Amino acid sequence: MTPEERIITYIPEPVTETLSAPSAEVQEEPPPPRITFEPPSFYLNYVVPPDALLIGEHHFVRGDITVIGGVPGCGKSRLLTSLAIAGKLGPGHEWMGLSVNAHFKTAIIQNENGLVRVRNELRAIQVQGHDLDDWLHITPPPPFGIGFTDPVFREELQVWLQQIQPGILAIDPWNRCVDDDKARDYRAVIEAIHSVIPAEIPKPAIVIVHHLRKQSLGDPRRRGRDLLNELSGSYIIGSACRAAFVLEPVTAQGSDDRLLFTCAKNNDGPMGEPTVWHRRDGLFARCTDFDWDEWENGGPNKRRAIDLEDLAAVFEDGDKTMSRKEAALALQSHCPASARSSVYEALRTDGRFSRHLSEVSGFLIFRP
């Protein structure tokens, strides 16, 4: 008897059958239908899951997109961190004036801030008594960028999401996710974000941080729903989200820490009234003495071009001479909404006010 024959003879028949490869093929579940129709009763009987509404009246909802727009450096990233505090505190608390309806974790995919910036903001928050280790997870800037269409990035992200199971998945900023402002690129990334969420976990609310388009002097001030048109790039980002907020400085002065927070869109609930906040170390404090009448009528932030009357006021109708630096500081204070470059452009002796400005021995002289 050969060695092979001895082995076959030794193994009992049931075991031999067990070692043999199964002949029946695994049946895959059929894909869901591409389209269905349902009667009104189907929708009337729908019950919203208790933890789906995270914040506000459908402002942050699991499975939906919420956009937070703002100019660079106004505190958008800080708002994301404050969302984690809201998720830890849970019901009975507020986030930027909106009710918190559930406990949830926050995961932030960011390619905006380095380790030093993130550390400093978290230290300022920790001093205030907020320990967020179990509630907040932040990526260091990914070495190859935020690549939702990259298969390796998507695979690694899915593993992390299965471990964290966040209630809010934030992306900061949007312009680091897309290569171009074309609608096709926007749609592709939005679809990739939705598809990367593991099917085994509850869907998180997706929060996208986005920049506003660059404004020019003389642009009218936008309010309410009109702010949605201020989001830079394709209109797709504004149409894809269910809710959108805009955070903007009250004035252009660096010493003014006030920020206007406005809901510009809420498809499934009320938008609510805009609110004003002070930017503090790590967080925000509500501004209780804001002059809304002045704001509505233009106030110090009214966008307009610097005119001859502004120069006349700064130079006291020609009675005062100043160095260029002194004149720039005075004009900036007189026109706080004007950019620094616009101020220096107005003070050029060969510019549009050349008939009224001259320079002698380093001092600017104004002639009415």
256 located within any domain? yes
Helix (H, G, I), strand (E, B) or coil at 332: helix
Q: How many CB atoms lie within 10 A of CB 145?
A: 13
Q: What is the pLDDT of residue 22?
A: 45
* Domain-terminating residue out of 255, 276, 299: 299
- Please say which residue of 299, 324, 340 terminates a domain: 299
User: Does residue 124 sit in the same domain as residue 189?
Assistant: yes
Which residues are bridge partners to 278 per DSSP? Answer: 258, 285
The reported pLDDT for the residue numbered 5 is 44
Same domain, 322 and 352: yes
- Residue 100: other Cβ atoms inside 10 A: 22
The answer to whether residues 135 and 277 belong to one domain is yes
| Residue 199 identity (one-letter amino acid) | A
Confidence (pLDDT) at 298: 58
Q: What pLDDT is stored for residue 102 in this prediction?
A: 96
Residue 125 in domain = yes
User: Domain of 106?
Assistant: 53-299
Instruction: Please state, as a whole number, how many other Cβ atoms lie within 10 Å of the Cβ of residue 295.
Output: 18
Question: Do 318 and 215 sit in the same domain of this protein?
Answer: no
Name residue 121's amino acid.
E
* Whether residue 72 sits in one domain with residue 188: yes
Distance CA 117, CA 206 (A): 23
In a domain, 140, yes or no: yes
Co-location of 209 and 60 in the same domain: yes
Q: Are residues 241 and 311 in the same domain?
A: no
Pick the closest to residue 172 from 72, 243, 22, 30 (CA basis): 72
CB count, 10 Å around CB of 22? 7
Measured distance CA(90)–CA(345) in Å, rounded: 51
CATH code, 85: 3.40.50.300
Nearest Cα neighbor of 139 from 72, 76, 80, 52 is 80
In a domain, 95, yes or no: yes
Q: Concatenate the DSSP letters of all residues of 43-95 into one string.
A: HHT----TTTEEETTTTEETTSEEEEEE-TTSSHHHHHHHHHHHHHH-TT-EE
The reply to whether 362 falls in a domain is yes
Q: What is the pTM of this model?
A: 0.73
Number of domains composing the chain: 2
Which of residues 299, 328, 358 is at a domain's end? 299
pLDDT tens for the chain, 368 residues long, are 454 444 334 334 444 444 444 445 556 678 889 899 999 999 999 998 888 999 999 999 999 999 999 988 888 999 999 999 999 999 999 999 999 999 999 999 999 899 999 999 999 899 888 999 999 999 999 999 999 989 999 999 999 999 999 999 999 999 889 887 778 888 999 999 999 999 899 999 999 999 988 765 555 677 888 898 888 887 888 899 999 999 999 887 778 899 999 999 999 999 999 999 998 877 899 998 888 877 776 555 555 678 888 899 999 988 999 999 999 999 988 888 777 888 888 999 988 888 899 999 999 999 98
The per-residue pLDDT for 28 is 66
Are both 205 and 91 inside the same structural domain?
Answer: yes
Task: Assess contact for 335 and 306: CB atoms under 8 A.
Answer: yes
Region of 165 (left: φ > 0; alpha: ψ -120 to 50; beta: rest) is left
pLDDT at site 215: 67
Query: How many CA within 13 A on the CB side of residue 10?
Result: 7
Please report the pLDDT score of residue 108 as a whole number.
Answer: 97
Residue 13: the pLDDT is 46
Q: What's the confidence (pLDDT) of residue 27?
A: 62
Phi, psi for 246 (deg, rounded to 5): -130, 130
